[in-house]
Every structure is written in structure tokens, then in C-alpha cells.
Amino acid sequence: MQQSRFLMCPPDYFEVAYEINPWMSVERLVDRKRAEAQWRAYYELLSGPLDAQVELLAPAPGLPDLVFTANAGLVRERIFVRSHFRFKERRGEEAHFEKWFKSRGYRVKTLDLPFCFEGEGDALSMGEELYTGYHFRSDLEAHEQAAGILRSDYFALELCDKRFYHLDTCFAPIDSQSALVFFPAFESCSQMILWETVPDPIRVSEEEALRFACNAVVAGQNVVLPSGCPNVSKELEKRGYAVYALDFSEFIKAGGAAKCLVLKL
Ligand code: ARG
């Protein structure tokens, strides 16, 4: 089996300094020590027992959400389609991501302004297909351009619940057959697309979706997801996956968990 490769960024400057999604409140302080320990446990699990190759991006002061590398862009082979964030609070991250990919020899592509694109947060591969989420953060036009650059077919899905503002908060492809899906986060036509194109959708309850069950990462035959999601874990185990449930409480305060903290390389 091919080794998984991910980009992560240590949480040295992570905090909730502004509010750009319903999970964030500047009044609910992040416990820095806990965040650091949670991130480290996750990093060590991926790079150790799960045998993934994890590359690191240097953290930068003033960019508290840089830890959520999933939003850097979208990578296919040696092409990096860079994000353009919806909110000015995160736009400072764009140059950091671009620099990292340029220095490693990737072909960096940007999309036409003013369209927004938030990378793997809103664009996930399942087998040969690309699934994209639009409305709150990324624009449909951006996905059309990104898919064109990558010469990929794509299914555009409209998000409709602001608690699930990125695609990776309500949809997680597991392999070419199965995906975790929290259906109510999608407009009805988009729900139909999912029913018709995903051979084995694993329906996630609202209770577990709110614990970020869909914010899961696959590495080989392993899946990492936030703790407190027993039903999803059971479904994945039935399908032959080993499930690792970790505590992401500090990152959930910013609206992210396992998937948001990694970008597939
Ligand atoms: N605070 C960040 C934001 O609102 C969280 C990003 C989570 N990332 C993700 N891929 N869902 O932009």
C-alpha cells in the first residue's frame, strides 16, 4: 500500500483571535498546553504507528489558523492549486503556503479573483472523482477552475448549514466505495448527487456530526477521528478499518479537527 503523505503545521500560535465560523468565540479561551499535547499526539500517531510521512510548515505569529493546513489548497501529483480565503483574517496564510510549495518544486496555480477557494476544506477526492463544497467559503466558479487545472471531473455540492461550513465537516471519503456523510448539511439536489454517486454512504447522526465525526483522516487501513463518535467508529470497523479516536477539543473551538489539521500531499 502506498504511504500517505501529509502537511501539518505546529500550533505554536494557535488561538481563537477572531470569529469567522459559528464554532469560534473569542470568549472561549484555547488551552495552549492542551492544544499542543493534542496536536503532538496526533502528529506522533500519524508519523509513527500509522506510517504516514508528515511534512511540516513553520508556524507564523499572527496567523492562528495556519494549523489548519487542509485549507492551504489542493495537491495532485506535483501541482498545487493555492487557496484564496473568504475572510481577510486568513488571507495572510496564502503567501506562506505558496512559499512552501514553491520551494519544494511544486507547480503553483492560483485561481481568478474574486473567487474564493479554501483547498481541501472544500474539495476532496474519492477514487477518481473530486467532490467540492460551495456556499459559505468556496465559490462554485473556483471549483470549476481548479478541476480544470487538475483535469478532474467533479461533483459540486451546495452546503446549507453554517455549522458545517466546509465540506470536510460533513463529508469524508474513506475509499472508492464508502464515505461518511452528514446529509442534512447539503441542499436537497446535492443530497441526491451523494445518494447517486457514493456506492456506500455511511450516514452520520447530527450528534456525531457535531463532534466532527466527518472530519476524519484515512491513512492506509486506519482512520483517525475525534473521540465521542462510537457509531461512526463501529461502521468503519465493520468495513475493516482500525479506528483511532483522539481528543481535538481545543481545535474544535476554532471549528476544526483531524482532517482540517492535515493536507494530503
Ligand atoms: N478557524 C478556521 C476557519 O474558520 C477553521 C478551519 C477548519 N478547516 C477545515 N478544513 N474545515 O477558517
Q: Which of 16, 21, 131 to mutate to test the pocket of ligand 1 (most atoms within 8 A of CB)?
A: 21
pLDDT, residue 2, reads 81
260 is catalytic: yes
CB atoms closer than 10 angstroms to residue 31: 12
What top-level class would CATH report for the domain 5-264?
alpha beta
Q: Which of 65, 91, 97, 122 to mutate to test the pocket of ligand 1 (most atoms within 8 A of CB)?
A: 65
Q: Is the CB of 68 under 6 A from ligand 1?
A: yes
CB 24 within 8 A of CB 253: yes
Tell me 118's DSSP state.
-
Q: What is the pLDDT of residues 157-182, one digit of tens each?
A: 999 999 999 999 999 999 999 999 99
Residue tagged active-site, from 166, 170, 214, 229? 166
Q: Is the CB of 166 under 6 A from ligand 1?
A: yes
Query: Relative to the CA of 254, which ligand 1 atom is closest?
Result: 1
Beta bridge partners of 226: 246
CB 165 within 8 A of CB 21: yes
pLDDT, residue 163, reads 98
**pTM assigned to the model:** 0.97
CA dist., res. 85 & res. 82, Å (int): 10
Q: Is the CB of 123 under 6 A from ligand 1?
A: no
pLDDT, residue 81, reads 98
pLDDT tens, the chain, 265 aa long: 789 999 999 999 999 999 999 999 999 999 999 999 999 999 999 999 999 999 999 999 999 999 999 999 999 999 999 999 999 999 999 999 999 999 999 999 999 999 999 999 999 999 989 999 999 999 999 999 999 999 999 999 999 999 999 999 999 999 999 999 999 999 999 999 999 999 999 999 999 999 999 999 999 999 999 999 999 999 999 999 999 999 999 999 999 999 999 999 9
Q: Which of 68, 84, 132 to mutate to test the pocket of ligand 1 (most atoms within 8 A of CB)?
A: 68
Ligand 1 centroid, distance to 222 Cα (angstroms): 23
Amino acid identity of residue 74, one-letter, is L
pLDDT, residue 34, reads 98
Query: Relative to the CA of 119, which ligand 1 atom is closest?
Result: 10
Q: How far is CA 49 from the centre of its chain?
A: 21
Q: Is the CB of 121 under 6 A from ligand 1?
A: yes
Query: Relative to the CA of 256, which ligand 1 atom is closest?
Result: 7
pLDDT, residue 248, reads 98
pLDDT, residue 199, reads 98
CB 59 within 8 A of CB 67: yes
pLDDT, residue 92, reads 98
pLDDT, residue 28, reads 93
135 is catalytic: no
Q: Is the CB of 67 under 6 A from ligand 1?
A: no
Ligand 1 centroid, distance to 74 Cα (angstroms): 15
